Amino acid sequence: MENNHQEKQFYETPEFLQAKKKFDELGPLAVTAEDHRAISSTPPEILELNLGKTEVELMTDEEILGKLKKWQQDIQEFSQEKYQSNSFVTSILSNRKHDLKVSIVYLRSIGRLPKEFEDFDAKSLE
């Protein structure tokens, strides 16, 4: 019972709630190593080596474009009928859709959205 109480407290900490909000509203390119740790996630090595920086701050325009295209390819692949009954793949599909959608909005807001995605219809991900 005490472990359940500790778990509940963890999910209610200001650090956890702030980091979760960043992940949910801005996406994985907008978070720091500290945000990852606040939600008990392992940060990518590049963030560990550049504390206080977000992934997008460390990426070139070409790397950003490559990441968005990769997510788009994953969405196309995992949307195929053959994966519809695979709960693991459908979970990844849901995450990719979310990440792509919020990342496009975030990248647009900071002036880093690649031209290839300027006209991307986020509603197509719903």
**Predicted model pTM:** 0.86
**73 & 86 share domain:** yes
Give the span between the Cα atoms of 73 and 12, in whole angstroms: 35
What's the domain range around 44?
Answer: 1-58
Q: Which of 32, 58, 84 is the last residue of a domain?
A: 58
pLDDT digits (tens, 9 = 90+) for 48-85: 999 999 999 999 999 999 999 999 999 999 999 999 99
pLDDT digits (tens, 9 = 90+) for 89-103: 999 999 999 999 999
Q: Which of 14, 39, 58 is the last residue of a domain?
A: 58
**69 & 51 share domain:** no
**80 & 40 share domain:** no
Residues 35/86, Cβ–Cβ less than 8 Å: no
Maximum distance among all Cα pairs of the chain, rounded to whole angstroms: 53
Instruction: Quote the number of domains for the chain.
Output: 2
